[in-house]
Structures are given as C-alpha cells and as structure tokens.
Structure 1
Amino acid sequence: MYVNNPNIKLPENPDTIIWKYLDLSKFLDLLISGKMFMSRSDKFEDQYEGTFSEPTFEEIKKISENNPKFLDYYKSHRENVVISSWHTNEYESFAMWQVFTKNNEGLAIQSTIGRLKEALHLERNFEQFIGEVNYIDYKKEHIPFDDVFFPFLFKRKSFQYENEIRVISDVTAQNLTINEGLKINVDINTLIERIYIHPKSENWYKKLVIELVSKLGFDFTIEKSDLESDILI
C-alpha cells in the first residue's frame, strides 16, 4: 500500500507522466502475474546505489567510532530495500529506449504518479513509498541520513538523464531472504494508461504485442512510438 512520507519529495501534480521501458518478457510477466517486480537495491548496475557521498560517509564514520553497529546497519540495510524505477517525462525519451531495450524491440508503459499511487493500494503486505531521485556530486555534496530512505533517493549526476522517481519498500520487518528482488501486487488496469512499441520495431512486433495483450484480457491503448516517423523534407 502506498504511504505518504513527508520527508520524501514527489511532484505534487498527480497527472505527472511517468514511464517504464522494458522488454516484452518482463511486460508479459507483469500482466500474467499481476505483480510488479522490485529489485533489491544492491543489485542495480550502479554500485553506488544506497550508499553515501564522501562528505556524508566521513560524518557517519565519526559517529560509528563509538557505535560500530551504526555503520553496519547502513551496509546491511541495502539487502532489505527494494526499488521499482520509473522515468518522469512529458514525452518519450530516446535515451531511455536506447538504455533499457535491445534489438529494436521492447515497449514503454505510460502512466502517471496518481495512477501509480492508486495501483499500489492492491498490495497489503508491504508499505510502499514514492520519491523523486536527487542527482548530486558524490565527492562534494551531502546526503542527509535522518530518514532511512534518503540514501536510496540520491544518485550521481551522470545518471541525471534518467529523471527518476522510485517506488521504495523496506522489508526488514518481514524477515525475508531476498535474492534479486520481489514482486508486489498492483492493479494493472489502473497502473497502465497506454503502451508504446519500440520506435524501430517492425509491424509484426506491434501486432504480436496487441494480440498477446488482447488474449490476456486487457484493452490498453497500444501505439507505435513516432520517434522514428518519416521525415517531412
């Protein structure tokens, strides 16, 4: 269930458009299972996920001199925090197609922050928080640590193109052993507003996606991205 955390920033407009770019297999898994995958925070490619900037780490080390468990907690906590990443943008992103899809295939889910919040209410086992990621210089800027989620809401400036918001959950209290991540219940029809097919995909691929979605009992609007439409000169 989505829970508001006043310490976590999020665009106020519920109609703010968000995207998830993914391959067909992950999309079908979402539709068939009715569950959204959330990755364990220390399993992302970016090794800095859930860690601190240098100024903050120096501060934490001083605190930990008399309380070593303080630092150990932050190291182990990454294994209990799971994340689903979304891209905030009014329009499609060419860069996100390039990074998150392969072989001219894949698709993008278009939703809104309001839809995401509502869709998460189907999950009753874990509290879900949504926040926007801050992009900073890890050598110079400070990451606050007065909220356990703050380390997971900061990334290096080199990732700024992601313009990311995150669904975050801490499953420490559930005493779960998480490998790559876990799946949470979501209302698929509420979550998905529209589907866009890869701009370089062939027509057979779009027809395949439409047919699969229909056979699974969904009727989302499905369009082919127009990022590769014919030039007019």
Structure 2
Amino acid sequence: MYIHNPNIKLPSDNDTIVWKYLDLSKFLELLLSKNLFMSRSDKFEDQYEGTFSEPTYDEIKRLSIDNPNFLKYYKSHREKVAISSWHINEYESFAMWQIFTQNSEGLAIQSTIGRLQECLLPEKNFTQHIGEVNYIDYKKEYIPFDDMFFPFLFKRKSFQYEREVRILTDVTGHNLKLNDGLKINVDINVLIDKIYIHPKSENWYKNLVIQLVKELGFDFTIEKSDLESDILI
C-alpha cells in the first residue's frame, strides 16, 4: 500500500508518464502472478546503490566513533530495502530500449505517477513509498540521512540518463530475509496504461504479444513503437 512521505520528492503532476522496459518472460510473469518484482537494493549493477556520498560518509564515520553500530546498521539496511525502477519520460527512449531489452524482443510498459500510487495493494503490513531519484556528485555533494530512504534516492550524475522514479519497500522490522528481492501485489489493470512493442521486432512477435495478452484476460492498448514510424521523404 502506497504511503505518501513528505520528505520524498515526486513530480507534482500525477499524469507524469513513466516507463518500464523489460523482456517478454518478465512481462508474462507480471501478468500471471499479478506481482511486481522489486530488486534488493544491493543487487543492482551499480555498487554505490544505497550508499552515501563522501561528505555524508565522513559525517557518519564521526558519529560512529562512540557508536560503531550506527555505521553497521546503515550498511546492513541495504539488504532490507527493495526497489522497482521506472523511467520518467513523455516519450519512448531509444537508450532504454537498448539497455533493458535484448534481441529485439522486448516490451515497454507505459504508466503514470498516479497509476503507480493507485496500483499498490495492501501487502503484509509493508508500506511502499515512491520517489524521484536525485543525481549528484558523490565526491562533493551531501546526501541527508535524516530519512532512511534518502540513500536509495540519490545516484551518481553518470546515471542521469535514467531519469528514474522508484517504488521503495523497507522490510526492516519484519522477520523476512530478502534474497534477490520481493514480489508485491499490484492491480495490473491500474498499473499498465499501454504496452509498446520493441521497434525492431518482427510482425509474428507483435501478434504473439497481442494474442498472449488477450488469452490472459487483459485488454491493454498495445502500440507499435513510435520509433518504428515510416520515414517521410
């Protein structure tokens, strides 16, 4: 269930468009299970995920001199936070297609900030928060640590192209060990506004996706990628 956190930045317009690029197997797993997979924060490719910038880390080390468990807690907290990443963009992103899909057989889910908020169902006393990622210089800029989610809402400037908004779940306080991540209940019909099919996919693949979605009982609008538009000369 989504809980608004006033400390976390989020676009004010609930109609702000967000995207998730994924392969067919992950898409079908989402439809069949009606569960959204959230990756454990320290399982991301970026090893800085959930860590602090140098100025913040220096301050935490000073605070930890008399309380060594303070720093230890922050390190272990990464194992208790799960993340679902979405890309903010009014339009499709060629770069996102390239990074997150393979072999021309991928899909893009189009949703909105409002839909992300509304689709999250009550989940075993877990609460979900949604926040926009801030991109900073980790050698110079400070990450506040007065909110436990802040380390997961900052990334290095090298990742600015991601324009990321995140659904965050913290399982601290629950007797639960996250392995690769966590699956949470979502209302699929609320979550998904439209489906876009990879711009380089063949017609048989597009027809397959349309047939599978229909047979699973969903009636999402399925679009061909805008990047596939005919050339006008």
Report 1:10-89 matches (<5 A): 10-89=10-89
- Report the Cα offset of residue 124 of structure 1: 4.9
Code of the residue aligned with 1:149 in structure 2: it is: F
- Structure-to-structure mapping, 1:183-198, within 5 angstroms: 183-198=183-198
Aligned residues: 233
Matched AA of 2:172: T
Q: What are the superposed Cα offsets for residues 157-178 of structure 1, whole Å, 9 maximum, x if unpaired?
A: 0100100000001001112111
Deviation at 1:99, TM superposition (A): 0.5
Partner of 2:161: 161
- The aligned runs of 1:127-146 (5 Å cut-off) are 127-146=127-146
Q: Which residue of 2 aligns with 1:177?
A: 177
Q: Is the 8 A contact 1:199 1:225 kept in 2?
A: yes
- TM-score, L = length of structure 1: 0.98
Residues 54-79 of structure 1 show CA distances to partners (whole Å, capped at 9, x for unaligned) of: 11111111111111000000000000
Contact 1:122-1:187 within 8 A present in 2 as well? no
Q: Hey, which bits of structure 1, 4+ residues long, moved more than 2 A?
A: 121-125
Give, as a single letter, the amino acid of the residue that structure 2 aligns with 1:224.
K
CA deviation map 1:78-114 (0-9, x unaligned)? 0000000000111111110010000111000001111
Q: Could you tell me which residue of structure 1 aligns to residue 98 of structure 2?
A: 98
The answer on whether the counterparts of 2:92 and 2:226 sit within 8 Å (CA) in structure 1 is: no
Residue identity opposite 1:199 in structure 2: P
Shift of 1:229: 2.2
Separation of aligned partners in 2, 1:30 and 1:18: 17
SS in 2 for 1:19: strand
Normalised to the residue count of structure 2, the TM-score between the two structures is: 0.98
Which 5+ residue runs of structure 1 have no aligned equivalent? none
**The residue matched to 2:14 in structure 1 has which SS?**
coil
Amino acid across the alignment from 1:130: I
1:209 is aligned to: 209
Percent of pairs with identical residues: 78
Classify the secondary structure of the residue corresponding to 2:210.
Answer: helix
Per the alignment, residue 7 of structure 1 pairs with 7
Unaligned runs of 5+ in 2: none
The letter for the 2-side match of 1:157 is K
1:123–1:186 contact (8 Å) kept in structure 2 = no
Q: Write the deviation string for residues 28-65 of structure 1: whole angstroms up to 9, x where unpaired.
A: 00000000000000000000000000111111111111
